[in-house]
Structure 1
Amino acid sequence: MREYDSETLHKVQSIELSILSDFIDLCNKYDLAYFGMAGTGIGALRHGGFIPWDDDIDVALPRNDYEKFLDLVAIEFGDKYEILNCETNSNYPLMSTRMILRGTKFREYALRNIDCNFGIFLDIYAFDNIPDDERLFKKQARDAFIWSKLLILRSVSHPVLPFGGVKGKIITLACVIAHSLLSFFNVSKTFLYKKCYEASTRFRDMNDSKRLDYLCDTTPYSNIINRKDVFPLCLRSFENLEMSFPNNLDNYLRGMYGDYMTLPPEEKRKNHYPYELDFGKWA
């Protein structure tokens, strides 16, 4: 992890909080369900806000509310924010969405060669229905995982891996080969996105689904959450804001991280230190 100076990190966090504030206002105005997730949830419980070295905010919505939100941002905040995802720019290699503050730049090292207008952002994830039948779920998870990773490898030859050593070298080599083949055969990025979207939303009409998941993470199983642990949502403090979180946030986070209340050693602390950063008029 590369470290920010304290002034720069505080400025990044301050702008992200202003984006989050607008996000919350829009969700509340239109009665859209959202919740803080992952590191944002840890920050809320362990620190009352940001994890001290963290530089992003992660929020999620159930798929239907997620898609409504994307339509509403253009109507309500089109002059202030840009929505970046595979629908708005086929070069974007992730299945998440970024709500980007116009006039800023925030380009991560891993994405420095991607032809997208990256700026200071809020990370937004769609949580999809997953079936109770484990056989059907494993097929959905496998399909979404494979297509999402191929989407990344179509644009990125050396993705960030959660491990090193011999295993890391072997997988890096496999990624380089896959990237080369996808590029050589000019596999459509839009095609890869649509295949992943189909897998992720395969059970969107399953109204009695007991679980939700963001299927396109490092593994398709790390974000599984029981619907009863999400709803009803509860409000918690995050810095100077009140935002929604799953009602059983502890259970969700322990499923992802284990003992998340213990600070990780310095070598395992992560951020998104930028290759390019410009606050624009928001400096």
Structure 2
Amino acid sequence: MAVKKQHFSSLGSPTDSMYSMTDEDIKRLHQVLLDMYKEINEVCRKHKIHLIAAGGTALGTIRHKGFIPWDDDMDLFMFRSEFEKFRKFFYEELGERYYLLAPGNKDGANCFLPRIMKKGTTLLGMIDEAAPYPHGIYIDINIIEYAPRNKVMFGIKSLMCDSLRFISYSVYWSQYKSRSFADFMLHSKGNKYYRFRMLIGKVLGFRKAEDWFALFDKCVKHRRSDVFTVPSGTKKYRGEVLKKNVVLPLKKVIFEDTSIFVFNDYDWYLSNLYGDYMVIPDQQNRERHLCLKLDFDSES
């Protein structure tokens, strides 16, 4: 089990400090994310960088031609080489309006994957309550990495990357312990899992969480091959292995009032993640969106 949004709905009742997003909040959030995407994509196009729909955003793109109506975030892919190029021009062309939180970056890192965060907004989640970083509305960037073709090397690489991913976030939980997250988890079905991760975080806290994130980022890199994977994805290193013909050539499809890239064989990709992905879940099976603070207009 990993603490992702899809698990929160089964963990118990929210604490008094939690705010449950309304339908109107979700609509406004979608508009902010869409505007962010358009602005960032315009700059990326100039530099021949592809922003590709990932995870729930890819699902929404195909099933709803935009955001999933009840989803509260945006997930994108970048190829590793293109992300490294993106880093180089980010502050000159986008730094006035956005932060780039990423392993090894000067803005710091609050996760093992990069996040582009809009300045002048606030979206504070439970996990990040005590972290010394900006708390704004953000887009997750999942980096597409090359993976070893050799099965033994792949197995070793997978174990190392998934272990570093688990350790890095456990240390983050421990070093920036959130009272609201602790209260939420300890009074839920996830209490044993939470205690275990906090123990791991404490034992391995001799190194800062940001350093563990950087180790993960270094470990996932691999020389060119004809196999891709997404180490930061929902199913981790082994679960999101992608053959080259699944990914390329990219296709451009409708997303809200603009367009976005998706994988060549998006059907295979979405089926691997979600099964029969065109089936819309019942109301009771949809994700619940909780946060500590949401503000579309104020500096965090």
* Deviations, residues 94-151 of structure 1 (Å, cap 9, x unaligned): 2211111111111112222222102011111211100111211111111111111111
Which whole-Å CA distance do the structure 2 matches of 1:189 and 1:26 have between them? 31
Structure 1 counterpart of 2:201, one-letter code: H
Partners of 1:93 and 1:151 within 8 A in 2: no
Structure 2 partner of 1:213:
229
Q: Tell me if the contact between 1:104 and 1:279 (Cα under 8 Å) persists in the aligned partners.
A: yes
Q: CA deviation at 1:198?
A: 2.4
Hey, what does 2:163 align to over in structure 1? 146
CA distance in 2, matches of 1:53, 1:223: 24
Query: For the structure 1 residues 109 and 189, does the alpha-carbon distance in structure 2 shift closer, same or farther, using more than 3 Å as the test?
Result: closer
1:211-238 CA distances to partner (integer Å, 9 max, x unpaired)? 2112134532332222211111111111
- Residues 45-83 of structure 1 show CA distances to partners (whole Å, capped at 9, x for unaligned) of 111111110011111111010111122221211211111
User: CA distance change for structure 1 residues 179 and 140 in 2, over 3 Å: closer, same or farther?
Assistant: same
Q: Which amino acid aligns with 1:76?
A: E
Kept in 1, the 8 Å contact 2:101–2:108? The answer is no
Match of 2:202 among 174, 180, 185: 180
Letter in 2 for 1:194: A
CA distance in 2, matches of 1:101, 1:280: 10
Q: 1:114 aligns with which of 122, 131, 136?
A: 131
Q: Helix, strand or coil: the match of 2:162?
A: helix
TM-score normalised by L of structure 2 = 0.83
Identity %: 22
The code of the aligned residue for 1:20 comes to Y
> 1:234 and 1:55 mapped to 2: Cα distance?
24
Deviation at 1:89, TM superposition (A): 5.7
**CA positional deviation for 1:192:** 1.6
Measure the CA separation in 1 of the matches of 2:107 and 2:238: 26
CA deviation vs aligned residue, 1:257-279 (integer Å, no higher than 9, x gap): 11111123444422653211111
Distance, in Å, in 2 between the alignment partners of 1:6 and 1:191 is 38
Alignment pair present for 1:232 and 2:249: yes
- 1:94–1:148: 8 Å Cα contact kept in structure 2? no
- Rounded Cα–Cα distance in structure 1 between residues aligned with 2:162 and 2:197: 15
User: 1:256 is aligned with what amino acid?
Assistant: L
Paired residue secondary structure (1:103): coil
2:112 is the counterpart of 1:92: no
User: CA shift at 1:190, angstroms?
Assistant: 4.0
Distance 1:93 1:182 in 2: 17
Give the corresponding residue for 2:218: 198
Number of residue equivalences = 272
CA RMSD, aligned part only?
2.4
